[in-house]
Structure 1
Amino acid sequence: MWQASNVYAICGFAAIGGGLFGFDISSMSGVLGTQAYKRYFNNPVSYAQGGITAAMPAGSLVGSLGSSFIADKFSRKVALQFSCVLWIIGSILMAASQNVAMLCVGRVICGLCVGIASSIVPVYQSEIAPKEIRGRVVSLQQWAITWGILIQYFIQFGAAEGIGGGSKDPNQPTAAFRIPWGVQMVPAVILLIGLFFCPYSPRWLASKDRWDEAVKVLASLHGKGDVNHPKVLAQYQEIEEALKLEREQAQSSFRALVQPRILKRVALGMSIQMWSQLSGMNIMMYYIVYIMEGAQIASPLATASIQYVINVVLTLPAIIFLDKWGRRPSLILGSFGMMTWLFISGALQQYYGQPNTEETRTAQNSDISWIVSNNRPVSSAIVSCSYLFVATFATTWGPVSWTYPAEIFPSKVRAKAVSLSTAANWFWNTALAFAVPPLLWNISYKMYYIFGAFNGAAFVHMTLMAPETKGFTLEEMDEVFDSGRPAWKKHKKSSRLEELAREIEEGKLKVAVPVGGQGAAAADETATSSAAVETTEKKAEATATTANA
């Protein structure tokens, strides 16, 4: 079967899995304001709406925790295909929902898919891509998320306004929410079929001792099909040495996770995913309609749609420049910026807003408790802060929160460690999806101060604990995190991969490509190297050693 070989095409296509995450995020926001949804599901607000919304991230939490077992045993590619099947089943149940219980079951099953995909897509991308563009291609996951949010929102917006008498029609047909929930299975079908034409991860193949396949994939991706290309041989050598070292340590992947040197990275990866949720971004995506209703400016659905466009467009600079400006500045500056916009927005609502009493309550704003009434400049400023917040997240934390955890772990624990990191994302996503509607209802503007404080804490944490990782291969991350340098001190070194490739090209280093599907690490785990690596300077010593043996 024909297999794709362009790294950008493969990683971009796999990012459709991130698009499903985006469909999840906006799967509720576009229908919350429709009369069809409110009437059919008995106008859920506060805890009731929180429970419906939280059903999907709850399923995602379970899916992310289980993702590593599927990915390690059956491959990253098969894990993604399995997630597509779950998404299709869940979407059918949502589109056919007869009551809240059936809707929640469908959302949980879709959530299982999103949990698996959001964990494994970055792992697959990071294991496919060379270090020079790893940040760029893993960032495609975040861009696909933003596209998923945008596409699903506009599908819902079109259905809400185009079916029946529009979103304010009290007798609007249920097709206003059934059509968007049914259409969302289309990208999953495309991804399921297309993955058959994508390669397995070469690092997963190596971990299963399928070395001949691993080298062929490396050659296809990085050597234009030439298995003797210096870059291909250098990557093979580096992967083999890292795998050999892991096997010599003779530890299970679970035991390795709690080693102090790895546990520190697990805590950092989980923290980054936690802070990405506590930044308040997904709350802006889930419940932006409520926020716009409170601002009392233009159509809430139309005003909210601008935010989704901003999210898509401003993710592009991060994709293009992340491998140039680095991960650390994005984390630090992003936290500070989001903290600023949230504090300003909260202050504006505190000093210019008022409770939504009987005098100000209408059919359109009955589901909120705090409004800014008859003050267009302040309402405009609140909406602007929301847009600036989204722009800041899109250019900083959005891409980095997926790139960073996917690249900092050794191969042996990568899938499990990333699944734990993503599980932290979904744990807080679930908690916030459930808690924010009652928070908006009961403490209104104070919620902005809470999330602003979370961003302040993330700013301090990232400044002290997050080292720069750009420009290093996956196998070089041990040197970054185990060097003993403080996170704020730049780690400078020449790339071992580039040195290997240069020595191979100059003929100073010889690497024997594995024959018959067995690499050195499998053939002899105690040998110095099964890759038959010899330098011209040490030939005599190698010969003497062999003779003595």
Structure 2
Amino acid sequence: MEQRREANVRSSYEVDEVYSDLYSTLSQVTSTTANDIEQLLFSFTWRTCFILLGATVGGLLFGYDTGVISGVLLSLKPQDISRSVITNFDKEIITSITCVGSFFGSALAIPMADKYGRKMTLAYCCIVFVLAALLMATSMTLTFLVFGRFIVGIAVGIAAQCVPVYMSEISPSNARGTILTLNSLAITGGQLISYIISFFFSSIDQSWRYLFGLSAIPALLFICLLDFIPESPRWLISFGSLTKAHESIKIIYPKATPRQIALKLKRLIIDINKMRRYQDVEEPLLRRSSCFFFRYNHSSNSLQLLEEPPTDPSNSEVFILPKNAGQRSTRRRIHRMEPRAKRALTVGCVLMFFQQITGFNAFMYYATIIFANLKVENPLIPAMAVAFTNFIFTFVALKLVDSVGRRSTLLCTVFIMIIGLLLSSVGFARTDTRLIITSLLIFVAAYASGMGAIPWSTVELLPLNRRSFGSGCISCVNWLTNAIVSMSYLSIMNRVGNEHTMMIFVFFAVLNWIFVYFFFPEVKGLSLEEIGKVFENGIDVHYVYRNYH
């Protein structure tokens, strides 16, 4: 066994030498940054905007189906679900069961995204959204409604895991933070839409059925437009589909030249294969009988898939990719994880834990109940103000993540979150409705500008061979923590009071700031492959500043 392991390591280093030679000898294309797509300004054409819009449908449904519960709880009558009374515990179950379903959905999405691809996984997810919408809208009992909420939770969990993975893999490094934040914008937009629809449907009898049923429309739209959305080129390359990967890159970068596309494809192939060095493979990577050969011809600016190496490579670039590399990688993904991937995954999971434990979704789910207890005439109006603030300040995150950076944004916004929570505690203690609303809006604005978006983008910290699994773990942490908070918030509020509940959230927000300061690295401007260097020896939080500033 040890001899075989040593042989595998030698083979791994031999592969690195081959790729090193490729980089040095094939310099005709790589000599200038003008041919590097990553260094060019990303073009938001109608086609790329359409792709991003389609990819964010999952986030939109995620936000709608989690935010709509606030309006549902306000309009739901006991007789609608064959009950004599709806207790706080019933409300907690109806709300939190979606988070439980999302936990299982995130775990289910891990093998689905690797086996069927990011694009098809999102398609299956939308089918589940449609089925769940029908189940919830036609529920006649509490049990049936809870089951429907569990099913929609599975779809939400799949979307929460797969959308960030897909968007990170189709984004250039200089716009990745912005594009990943579009998913958070879709989530907050979905929540805002759910509040607006709840407001306009509030006078209709059993309006909650319409609120649930409407969520099927965006899912059906995504399924109809599936053919226009490309698969992730990184996933295609990992499964040996070079020709499809080439076509996918052409769609994602419509203004790129053939030479730029060839360079992008070559770098992805080399980086993905070099990544296999960290896996415990049982056979050499390079065998002529099990390799693809791909050639870029300078004279004609053309790409060609070959069965054998070219006999005259004088004016060609040849790329080598083992067939079925992705399948071998998938079988070993869970059994072995390199230390740098473990560190990156830990950072992502802990930051996601803090995203939920600081209480934001408790306000989103139970906003109408909180304001109803404060004797507000129409609880949906301040709840809509909270959702609108969340949506608007997500644009701030959109602006800051790539210009200011993830780390600096979090350090500033988490501090403001602490101030907002402290003020809300004072407001609840004095029963000052204006102070409560103002402080909650401060908290929500700061949250949306940083913690609402950035934890979802931590999938970019993970290497390709762990991205689907790691994204699933991060998403599972989100939903497990979310379920705990949403399942206990009303009970804790009734037992210790709102002012003390806010102080519990303050405690976790302070821990959140400390964690970001010591353990969250800045990665703005780094390619997905270069991010791994940040975690090679511990967590180098100042890697970007030391090397590029």
Give the TM-score normalised by the residue count of structure 2.
0.79
- Quote the Cα distance in structure 1 between the aligned partners of 2:483 and 2:79: 22
Structure 1 residue aligned with 2:408, among 290, 311, 329?
329
**1:385-417 deviation digits (Å, cap 9, x = unpaired):** 1111111111111121211x2211111110110
Aligned residue for 2:259, secondary structure, equals coil
Match of 2:146 in 1: 104
Aligned residue for 2:73, secondary structure, equals coil
TM-superposed deviation, 1:305: 1.1
Aligned residue for 2:77, secondary structure, equals helix
User: Does residue 30 of the first structure (1) align with residue 43 of the second (2)?
Assistant: no
- In the alignment, residue 409 of structure 1 is paired with which amino acid? L
Provide the identity percentage. Answer: 28
User: Does residue 138 of the first structure (1) align with residue 138 of the second (2)?
Assistant: no
Match of 2:360 in 1: 281
TM-superposed deviation, 1:256: 3.6
Q: 1:114 to 1:35 in 2, by over 3 A?
A: closer
- Quote the Cα distance in structure 1 between the aligned partners of 2:525 and 2:256: 24
Q: 1:489 to 1:470 in 2, by over 3 A?
A: closer
Matches within 5 A, 1:534-549: none
Match of 1:267 in 2: 346
TM-superposed deviation, 1:211: 1.0
Cα contact 2:76–2:208 (8 A) shared by 1: no
- In the alignment, residue 462 of structure 2 is paired with which amino acid? F
- Quote the Cα distance in structure 2 between the aligned partners of 1:298 and 1:224: 54
Aligned residue for 1:468, secondary structure, equals coil
User: Does residue 399 of the first structure (1) align with residue 443 of the second (2)?
Assistant: no
Q: 1:323 to 1:86 in 2, by over 3 A?
A: same
Match of 2:54 in 1: 13
- In the alignment, residue 159 of structure 1 is paired with which amino acid? F
**1:122-155 deviation digits (Å, cap 9, x = unpaired):** 1100100111111111111111111111111221
Q: 1:341 to 1:224 in 2, by over 3 A?
A: same
Cα contact 2:73–2:91 (8 A) shared by 1: no
Structure 1 residue aligned with 2:520, among 466, 470, 494?
466
- Quote the Cα distance in structure 2 between the aligned partners of 1:450 and 1:195: 44
Match of 2:228 in 1: 197
User: Does residue 412 of the first structure (1) align with residue 430 of the second (2)?
Assistant: no
TM-superposed deviation, 1:381: 0.6
TM-superposed deviation, 1:192: 1.8
- In the alignment, residue 102 of structure 1 is paired with which amino acid? F
User: Does residue 118 of the first structure (1) align with residue 118 of the second (2)?
Assistant: no
Cα contact 2:99–2:153 (8 A) shared by 1: yes
Cα contact 1:26–1:152 (8 A) shared by 2: yes
Matches within 5 A, 1:379-390: 379-390=433-444
Aligned residue for 2:172, secondary structure, equals coil
- Quote the Cα distance in structure 1 between the aligned partners of 2:84 and 2:171: 49
Aligned residue for 2:139, secondary structure, equals coil
- In the alignment, residue 146 of structure 1 is paired with which amino acid? T
Cα contact 1:54–1:433 (8 A) shared by 2: yes
Match of 2:258 in 1: 227
Cα contact 2:164–2:456 (8 A) shared by 1: yes
User: Does residue 183 of the first structure (1) align with residue 214 of the second (2)?
Assistant: yes
Aligned residue for 1:275, secondary structure, equals helix
Matches within 5 A, 1:210-225: 210-222=241-253, 224=255
Aligned residue for 1:200, secondary structure, equals coil
TM-superposed deviation, 1:469: 0.9
Match of 1:50 in 2: 92
Q: 1:134 to 1:402 in 2, by over 3 A?
A: same
Q: 1:9 to 1:39 in 2, by over 3 A?
A: closer
- Quote the Cα distance in structure 1 between the aligned partners of 2:492 and 2:85: 18
TM-superposed deviation, 1:488: 4.6
- In the alignment, residue 126 of structure 1 is paired with which amino acid? S
TM-superposed deviation, 1:39: 6.2
Match of 2:265 in 1: 236
- In the alignment, residue 247 of structure 1 is paired with which amino acid? R
- Quote the Cα distance in structure 2 between the aligned partners of 1:243 and 1:388: 43
Unpaired stretches in structure 2, ≥5 consecutive residues: 1-44, 281-331
TM-superposed deviation, 1:494: 6.1
Structure 1 residue aligned with 2:391, among 284, 297, 312?
312
Aligned residue for 2:473, secondary structure, equals helix
- Quote the Cα distance in structure 1 between the aligned partners of 2:90 and 2:222: 33
Cα contact 1:63–1:113 (8 A) shared by 2: yes
TM-superposed deviation, 1:247: 2.5
Q: 1:16 to 1:37 in 2, by over 3 A?
A: farther
Matches within 5 A, 1:426-505: 426-445=479-498, 446-482=500-536, 486-488=540-542, 490-493=544-547
Match of 2:334 in 1: 254
TM-superposed deviation, 1:491: 4.0
Aligned residue for 2:335, secondary structure, equals helix
Structure 2 residue aligned with 1:151, among 184, 190, 193?
193
- Quote the Cα distance in structure 2 between the aligned partners of 1:73 and 1:384: 47
TM-superposed deviation, 1:119: 0.6
- In the alignment, residue 429 of structure 1 is paired with which amino acid? N
- Quote the Cα distance in structure 2 between the aligned partners of 1:338 and 1:157: 28
- In the alignment, residue 122 of structure 2 is paired with which amino acid? L
Cα contact 2:132–2:149 (8 A) shared by 1: yes
Match of 1:71 in 2: 113
Q: 1:228 to 1:280 in 2, by over 3 A?
A: same
TM-superposed deviation, 1:441: 1.6
- In the alignment, residue 139 of structure 1 is paired with which amino acid? T
Cα contact 1:46–1:441 (8 A) shared by 2: no
TM-superposed deviation, 1:6: 3.6
Cα contact 1:265–1:409 (8 A) shared by 2: yes
Cα contact 2:108–2:158 (8 A) shared by 1: yes
TM-superposed deviation, 1:429: 1.0
Aligned residue for 1:398, secondary structure, equals coil
Matches within 5 A, 1:78-97: 78-97=120-139
Could you tell which deviates more after superposition, 41-50 or 100-109?
41-50
CA-based RMSD? 2.0
Structure 1 residue aligned with 2:104, among 48, 59, 62?
62
Cα contact 1:29–1:286 (8 A) shared by 2: yes
- Quote the Cα distance in structure 2 between the aligned partners of 1:9 and 1:407: 22
Aligned residue for 1:147, secondary structure, equals helix
- Quote the Cα distance in structure 1 between the aligned partners of 2:526 and 2:376: 48
User: Does residue 422 of the first structure (1) align with residue 475 of the second (2)?
Assistant: yes
